[in-house]
Structures are given as structure tokens and as C-alpha cells.
Amino acid sequence: MADCLASVDGQTHPHIEHVVVDGASTDGTLGLLQAHRAQLAELRSEPDRGIYDALNKGLALATGDVLGFLHADDLYAHPGVLAQVAAAFENPAVCAVYGDLQYVSKDNTAQVVRHWTSAPFSSLRLAWGWMPPHPTLYVRREWYQRIGGFDTRYRIAADYHSILRLFSQPNFRSVYLPEVLIRMRLGGASNKSLKNIVRKTREDWCALRRTQVGALGGLGALAWKNASKLTQFF
């Protein structure tokens, strides 16, 4: 958490509303947050019903026009990330901005384990399992309002479900920044155990069926989505 706070504080963009939602932690995190309270626009610490319940609380607390999420173990790749994102949103027609992501070692953020190179959006890519790295994704508030935030019936894949709903809209215009925006420590909910990987796959399948976006009834999208991760290790 200390690295995350320093990463946000080090951004050159002057207009940042940093909202923190803590799940009533008892490991010293709350004390650290309170020590940096002057840096935060909002601090909410209370029990929640999982990751996406917490993200929905953040959506409700934030007042900015553009919203993004940085988890406690994640970092911005460099101090100018938010300035670049904000510059892309100067075009009022832009609904979302995203970039590339690096998975790094939990103990050494300079050690890159996986490199997720995204791509410009196309409906064909979306149908075959493509998605932008969610930690790099910034979206105009009005669009989260349109879809009602994150569906908390999903425990791991509500971000993918929201991406399918957003990017399948015919007038949803996005901008891809072809560089690393976020460094994400390994050990997140979706990949920390075999059980979670299986659950994530099941939830992805459910999201594809509900949105009716995926190729071959969703099977093609699911297969390619998982297979494409192999290239991130090379």
C-alpha cells in the first residue's frame, strides 16, 4: 500500500481525486492510510462483500468525470501516466483510455514476469476474447452509470463482464496508449490459485453468455482469451 500511495502522489497531473476504499483491514493498512489522510480525497474503511462491492463504493464516492482503479499492490509505470490519460480525454468524443500492463514480482517490482501488450479495439477482437487490461482502463463516469457499475454476482470476472458491456456499445469510442501504464504485482484474485483460475474461467463463460458477445457462442472467445495469455511470458 505504501508503494501505491507514493505512486499516486508522484503523478505530475495536478487534478487527481484519490478515493480509497478499505475492507476494514486489521493488518496495519488503515493506520498507514490515516497517516496519509491529507493525500486522500476520501477514505472509507468498512466491511464489504468482495472486490467489486468495494469498487462500486469507490464509484459512488468519486466525483470526477473520468474514473480508474489502482489496487493496493499496483503502481503507475511512470509519473506521467495520468497526464497522458487526461490528454487523451481532452477529446470529448473519447469514452475510454487504456494501455499495456506488466505483471511484476511481488517482492521486486523491477522484475517483469509477464508483459500484457494490448491493441486498438475492434469488435472482432472483442468477440474473440480480447480485453484491455482492466487496471489500465479509464472510463468516463457516465458510462459506468449507464451499466450500473460492477455486477457483484461475479467474484472474479465482473471487470470482464463490464468491459464486454461497455465495448459492445456502438458509440463507445476508446483510445489505446501503446505503452506500459501499470505495474501489477503477481498474486491477484484471478491468478493466485488453481481454484481461482477455474472459477475465473467459469465466470468468463457466464459473462460471455449473458452479453452474447463472444464468437462461436462464447467458446471461441473463451479459448482464445486463455490461450493468448501464454504469449505474455515471452
SS3 annotation, 161-230: HHHHHHHCCCCCCEEEEEEEEEEEECCCCCCCCHHHHHHHHHHHHHHHHHHCCCHHHHHHHHHHHHHHHH
- pTM score, two decimals? 0.92
Residue 147 φ then ψ, to 5°: -95, 0
Please give the pLDDT value at position 189.
60
Give pLDDT tens digits for 205-214. Answer: 999 999 999 7
Please give the pLDDT value at position 233.
78
Percent share of the chain, pLDDT over 70: 97
Please give the pLDDT value at position 191.
55
Residue 84's pLDDT band (cuts 50, 70, 90): very high
State how far the Cα of 82 lies from the Cα of 95, in Å rounded to an integer: 16
Question: Which residues lie closer than 8 Å to 216 by C-beta, 6 or more apart?
Answer: none
Domain ranges across the chain: 66-233
Domain spanning 66-233: which superfamily?
Spore Coat Polysaccharide Biosynthesis Protein SpsA; Chain A (3.90.550.10)
